[in-house]
């Protein structure tokens, strides 16, 4: 590799690093959303209108920032986390339980809680029932 190529490579690496740092300075840290979680989605960024939706796909290796949401009408959209807000009218379930609920489909809706405590056949989307059960358990 010639001296000129080394300098060009070094310059490109520095520019890439600078761009990454600039992006990270303005990027917000959002909480991860779970599968089937009720949310509001902004379909058109030029309008401050938010519509109810449900998370149908979470980010993966191929699309690390993209969520897929489904509106009550059945229409699906792909949006980054910036344009999705959790539905605050629904009670928040402890994150560990949300994680277990998101895996519920693979376990035939049987949710095994930590410390050998078993919940009674909780459907992954029934957050209110889980929240009530969890609250009663803590009493």
**pLDDT score, position 30:** 85
- Rounded to an integer, what is the distance from CA 14 to the centroid of its chain? 32
Residue 64 — pLDDT band, cuts 50, 70, 90? Answer: confident
Which segments within 34-136 are labelled E, that is strand? 38-42, 50-57, 66-70, 76-80, 84-86
Backbone angles phi, psi at 19, to 5 degrees: -65, -45
Residue 112 — pLDDT band, cuts 50, 70, 90? Answer: very low
Query: Quick one: what percent of the chain has pLDDT higher than 70?
Result: 64
Tell me the average pLDDT of the chain.
77
Say yes or no to pLDDT of 117 above 90. no
Say yes or no to pLDDT of 130 above 70. no
Least confident of 62-66, 72-76, 82-86, 135-139: 135-139
Higher-pLDDT residue of 42, 100:
42
CA-to-CA distance for 49 and 45, rounded, in angstroms? 8
């Amino acid at each position: 590799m010639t001296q000129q190529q080394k300098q060009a490579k070094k310059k490109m690496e520095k520019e890439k690093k600078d761009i990454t740092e600039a992006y990270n300075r303005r990027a917000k840290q959002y909480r991860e959303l779970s599968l089937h979680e009720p949310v509001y989605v902004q379909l058109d960024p030029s309008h401050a209108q938010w519509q109810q939706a449900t998370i149908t796909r979470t980010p993966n290796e191929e699309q690390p920032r993209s969520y897929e949401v489904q509106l009550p009408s059945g229409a699906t959209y792909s949006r980054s986390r910036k344009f999705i807000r959790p539905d605050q009218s629904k009670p928040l379930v402890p994150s560990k339980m949300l994680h277990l609920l998101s895996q519920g489909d693979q376990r035939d809706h049987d949710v095994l809680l930590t410390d050998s405590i078993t919940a009674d056949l909780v459907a992954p989307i029934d957050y209110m029932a889980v929240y009530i059960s969890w609250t009663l358990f803590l009493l």
